[in-house]
Structure 1
């Protein structure tokens, strides 16, 4: 039987662990969304350059070329920013994962401690029961012996 104090501690640990797991899942999803945005931007940049090259083969005016270069520069900046956001999201997800795993480890250690405590208590109770049974058997033997001597 689990001591009520230990039961409450385990319950608190489980709740903390579940909260940290939910935070990890949310951070992981945010990381994946950030990565998808980055890939979308990179694909758009590649497609824009490809289309611009096709249009450019027919000839570009200097104004169009300047706009093209300027827009590619803006896309490159957006990719850099999104790349940083992806790196930060990945680091945050990893940190949340480590926190969750550490809490899981604490909970398992507490459960193991409780299990060992319960086993020690059970062993103690079994030894006490054995002593009681030995004492009872000894008393029975002495009564029979005493009764046999009086007959």
Structure 2
């Protein structure tokens, strides 16, 4: 039957699909971690500025002010780099999701092909059984007729 011919192909496709799904899940987790890190940096920057403003209200020395500005600059750079990492992680997760969905479609198409083949085989068998039954009935009718004419 068609099912037996395609069973191995479907199994291989299903394994590929599962592998791609696992890659997508891993990429999605990495994206979420990157996003959390970005949010953490942005939150830390805001908190640092607030604390510095509170300290500045009582007065800052020029050296402290320069350290503050330099540190904010470094935080801004880290936030910018993390923002790029988040975008790359999101794009990678989306690409892996699309690959997984394509593999899923291929598997479903193979399964549908098998299902249609099995349906066609059942129809073919039913027609053959009907043909055999009709032929048997016709032969039976002819035997009965010949037997009736002979008597």
Q: Same fold (TM over 0.5)?
A: yes
The CA deviation string for residues 82-135 of structure 1, in whole angstroms up to 9 with x for no partner, is: 000000000000000000000001111111111111111111111011000000
SS at match of 2:142: helix
The CA deviation string for residues 29-56 of structure 1, in whole angstroms up to 9 with x for no partner, is: 0000000000000000000000000000
The CA deviation string for residues 61-81 of structure 1, in whole angstroms up to 9 with x for no partner, is: 000000000000000000000
Unaligned stretches of 5+ residues in structure 2? none
Shift of 1:2: 4.9
Whole-Å separation in 1 of the counterparts to 2:32 and 2:6? 38
Whole-Å separation in 1 of the counterparts to 2:3 and 2:62? 81
Please give the TM-score of this superposition, normalised by the length of structure 1: 0.98
What is the CA RMSD across the aligned residues, in angstroms?
0.8
Regions of 4+ moved over 3 Å: none
Query: 1:99 maps to what in 2?
Result: 99
Please give the TM-score of this superposition, normalised by the length of structure 2: 0.98
Query: 1:85 maps to what in 2?
Result: 85
Query: 1:46 maps to what in 2?
Result: 46
Shift of 1:3: 2.8
Q: Does 1:3 align with 2:3?
A: yes
SS at match of 2:114: helix
Map 1:110-129 → 2, pairs under 5 A: 110-129=110-129
Q: Does 1:15 align with 2:15?
A: yes
SS at match of 2:60: coil
